[in-house]
Chains A and B, each alone.
Chain A
Amino acid sequence: MSQTPTYDAIVVGSGAGGGIAAFILATSGLRVLMLEAGRDYDPLRETPMFQLPKDAPLRGAGTPEKPFGFYDATVDGGWQVPGEPYSVADGSEFMWWRSRMLGGRTNHWGRISLRMGEYDFKPRSRDGLGFDWPMSYEDVAPYYDRTESLIGVYGSNEGLENTPNSSPGVLQPPPKPRAYELLTRKACRRMGIPVVPAHLAIMTQTQDPDRLPGEIFPNNDLARRVTADSMRGRAACYWATPCGRGCSIRANFQSTTVLIPPALATGNLEVRTGAMVREVTVDSQGRATGVHYIDKATLLDEFAAARVVVLAASACESARILLNSTSNQFPDGLANSSGLVGKYVMDTVGAGVYSQIPALQSLPPHNEDGASAMHMYMPWWLYGEQLRGQLDFPRGYHIEFGGGRRSAPGFGAFSGLEPLTQGSYGQRFKDDCRRYYGSFMGFDGRGEMIPNEDCYCEIDPDNVDRYGIPVLKFHWKWADHELNQALHMQRTFAEIVDEMGGTLLSTVQTDGARAISKGGQIIHEVGGAIMGDDRRSSVLNQYCQSWDVPNLFVTDGAPFVSNADKNPTLSIMAIAWRASDYIVEQLGQRSIG
């Protein structure tokens, strides 16, 4: 391209990775175009903050169209999106979640914000499996601090192994524990399992607009100003309504409440919704020139040009765009000289149990909604045993638990009680429900999956979506590492329930394949464009920059080379921020674009 493009950067996607990239680039004075495949969305005017299950169809039940229930923030999303199919190879099971809305999955996500630790960046060095990251925890730590300060994360610094502390003044105070959390902590204390304040991107107090922006952006007046203004417009949690609906008072983190508004306030960001990107274009020198996208309103193919292209469309969607960006120069897809685009897709291992705890029966009524999400959790605690080879799986998991009187009774309330009630009905059933109310608890493990050769996506040559774009085909196979871990989760949770004097209401499996979640079910898919030290064995360098195409970046979960039990969103943002700083620096030196 001989003429100067309209934009310095195109950011594809508006969720965690795209939101951070757009925010950092725009506040650095670059002209940014953000393309989002879904519709415009404004949590301030759309979030159903106090609506009750009784006012929703089917009392708010999950449906194929709204898998997490009627009030879940997700718009035009789920494991199936109309008109946007995907294929799964014979013998594989994989579920691919998409959200077609501004802000993507950050609107409904669980807000769990755990830092990867020093082991997590160098897992191969520790146990010989998987891959090491090309950077260390120390390289990313300052970006974790900035991200947490910006978005607002509650939690505490416990100094536990591979569970990093945040710098002083970064975390907000955790909420007080609920009754069932205290009861669980007491039982787990006897078992040697730590129960500590969870880290969630929910504000328990307002942010200090006079201190934080200066700490986050010491040398950027524009970033400081728009960040301070944004912080002044955010309220602290008022302890009601589930975060998964989004938050109209901006108390929790969504890209649409925390990143996009201040980025727009710079005047440097243009957002185009309903723009489904299909291909990154390159010039004869192999440099990215822009993207083709389908305007969903007109169904016409459009082109936008920029000096830099940043893909943050979600791990598999970004891999899909790269694989669909074929040319004579790049017949196997863009940035794919390693042949690794689409490879090493990972999800999180999930397994759980459901239980009834008699001690929690017939408690005096009290409001247990709290921050709607966990106030406490259990970080992985058996690092030593694992290192000594005492466990039959190499990587850890954390435990998420909930229940009690948290959130209003909804669809399925008091279903499946027969093992407890012996089929009671009438007055006896009514009294049983009253007695058992608040005494149910669920325990869920979220564990690390090690990348393997059997889990990947590729272009399905036989199918296109409604926009004519070739779709993905997924291949999936859990290894024994994950299957054994899932069994350990269920056995451990059964022991916790037993220690609490409770009754299991679900089965503890002996076959790992029956205990474990399906691939993609936990919606933590990462990988597919892994980063590394070497262009032959990775797609990107440590700054999320393509080895092959220097002005092409991927800042979502795709660069992940491991998937620690730390829920990827916070790390996506920290790593995207680091990459964005690098983009600003490189553009300033005119070494790219």
Chain B
Amino acid sequence: MSDNTITRRGALKVIAGSAALGAAASCTPDELARSTESAHETLSGFDPLPPANPRAAGTLTDPDMLAPVVPWEMVLTDEEMRQVAALADVIIPADERSPAASAVGVPDYINEFVSAPAHKEHLTRLRGGLAWLNRTARERFGATDFPALTTAQQQEICDEICFEPDTPDALKPQARFFDGFRDWVSTGFWTTQEGMRDLGYMGNVPLPSFDGPPPEVLEQLGLAGEDLG
């Protein structure tokens, strides 16, 4: 488990992180924390929130939303985590704009997801899917398991199951597994700081005014003459 999954961060660090998505990308996290905290105070006149909520009962229906924790145990083995990481990186590899899925904690998120008590069927589907990938890696390429393959070999296998409508009937369960896994990777990746920055999400920062779309957006949409009210 990586640090950011087990140890949830307090409000100020979250504020710092979100501010990092804005224009001030050159600031250090501490500087951003101070500037966002100060923006919150300046704009609202309210003190920043405390780091935890003593009123919350800590139950599933009344969790401490200021200091979230995952209340269940993680169940995937180290081997399974290695295989999850390999497949996650086939789905979201590193490129010049952002890191690969495994570099931003996606395997930990998938472990958290399939370990949830309500998600036992997902856990079974994951294990069944990994078993098929490993078996195919051995049968087709003589490799010990899926992570041992080259990227090209991994892609050759994934090509067969990446789109259910084109998948032969015998592989439909694998295609459904792959589809679900891709959704997990997607949530796990794009919700991270790196993922949001890659997408250009610039919100979650206090602003003195909301000015509507900038001119270049209106221009691209052919809305340059629209009344903004």
| A contact residues vs B (CB 8 Å cutoff) | 39-42, 44-59, 63-66, 70-71, 75-78, 81-82, 156, 174-179, 182-183, 185-186, 197, 235-236, 238-241, 245, 248-249, 251, 359-360, 363-371, 405-416, 418, 422-427, 429-430, 433-434, 437-438
Contacts and interface: CB of A to CB of B under 8 A. Distances in A.
B24 interface: no
Nearest to A40: B55
B124 interface: no
Interface stretch (B77-85, B129-137, B139-147, B194-202): B194-202
A179 B218 contact: yes
Contacts of A433: 186, 190, 199
Contact of A59 (B15, B69, B187, B204): B187
B27 interface: no
Contacts of A182: 213, 218, 221, 223, 226, 228
B210 to A, nearest CB: 4
A480 to B, nearest CB: 36
A39 B55 CA distance: 9
B70 interface: yes
B44 interface: yes
10 contacts: A50-B11, A50-B18, A76-B61, A176-B229, A179-B213, A235-B46, A239-B209, A425-B182, A429-B182, A434-B97
A-B interface, 5 closest residue pairs, ranked by CB to CB distance from nearest:
A423-B163, A365-B200, A176-B212, A369-B203, A249-B44
Contact of B196 (A81, A238, A248, A409): A409
Most buried by A among B61, B165, B217: B61
B205 to A, nearest CB: 6
B17 interface: yes
Given A408-B201, A422-B163, A437-B200, A46 B186 contact: no
B186 A414 contact: yes
Interface of B: 4, 8-9, 11, 14-15, 17-18, 22, 36, 39-40, 43-46, 49-50, 53, 55-57, 59-63, 65-66, 68-71, 90-93, 95, 97-98, 109, 112-113, 116, 118, 155, 158, 162-166, 178-179, 182-183, 186-188, 190-193, 195-196, 198-214, 216-218, 220-221, 223, 226, 228-229
A363 B71 contact: no
A179 B201 CA distance: 15
A137 to B, nearest CB: 26
Contacts, number: 257
Contacts of B208: 238
B202 A365 contact: yes
A71 B65 contact: yes
A176 B210 contact: yes
Nearest to A50: B15
B63 A70 contact: yes
A367 B21 CA distance: 10
A174 B213 CA distance: 15
Contacts of A63: 60, 118
Given A42-B55, A409-B196, A175 B183 contact: no
Given A44-B46, A45-B49, A63-B118, A408 B203 contact: yes
Given A55-B8, A410-B191, A429-B92, A418 B199 contact: no
Nearest to A176: B212
B207 A239 contact: yes
A571 to B, nearest CB: 26
Contacts of B193: 54
A207 to B, nearest CB: 13
Given A45-B50, A415-B183, 19 more contacts: A44-B46, A48-B49, A53-B191, A59-B188, A63-B118, A177-B212, A185-B226, A238-B206, A238-B208, A239-B209, A363-B221, A365-B200, A367-B207, A418-B163, A423-B162, A425-B90, A425-B162, A426-B92, A429-B91
Contacts of A39: 55, 57, 62
A5 to B, nearest CB: 31
Contacts of B179: 418, 423
Contacts of A239: 206-207, 209-210
A497 to B, nearest CB: 16
A580 to B, nearest CB: 29
Contact of B210 (A82, A371, A410, A423): A371
B66 A51 contact: yes
A66 B53 CA distance: 17
B191 A409 contact: yes
Given A41-B55, A426-B90, A57 B68 contact: yes
Contacts of B113: 58
Contacts of B216: 364
A64 B187 contact: no
Contacts of B214: 364, 366
Nearest to A38: B62
Most chain A beta-carbon neighbours within 10 Å: one of B49, B57, B61, B65: B65
B61 A409 contact: no
B221 A52 contact: no
Contact of A45 (B8, B18, B36, B53): B53
B61 A82 contact: yes
Contacts of B199: 365, 409, 433-434, 437-438
A572 B46 CA distance: 30
Contacts of A42: 55
A429 B198 CA distance: 14
A46 B187 CA distance: 26
A50 B14 contact: yes
Contacts of B66: 46, 48, 51
Contacts of A413: 186-187, 190-191
A309 B171 CA distance: 65
Interface centre among A40, A71, A75 (most CB of B within 10 A): A75
A125 B109 CA distance: 57
Contacts of A78: 61
B61 A49 contact: no
B95 A248 contact: no
B204 A240 contact: yes
Contacts of A248: 46, 49
Contacts of A422: 163
A46 B92 CA distance: 36
A49 B210 contact: no
Contacts of B4: 54
B117 to A, nearest CB: 10
Given A51-B65, A71-B65, A182-B223, A426 B204 contact: no
Most buried by B among A66, A240, A249, A406: A240
Contacts of B163: 418, 422-423
B147 to A, nearest CB: 16
A178 B14 contact: no
Contacts of A238: 39-40, 43-44, 206-208
Contacts of A363: 217, 220-221
Contacts of B226: 182, 185-186
Nearest to A196: B229
A44 B66 CA distance: 12
A77 B61 contact: yes
Contact of B187 (A47, A236, A411): A411
A425 B158 contact: yes
A6 B137 CA distance: 78
Contacts of A365: 199-202
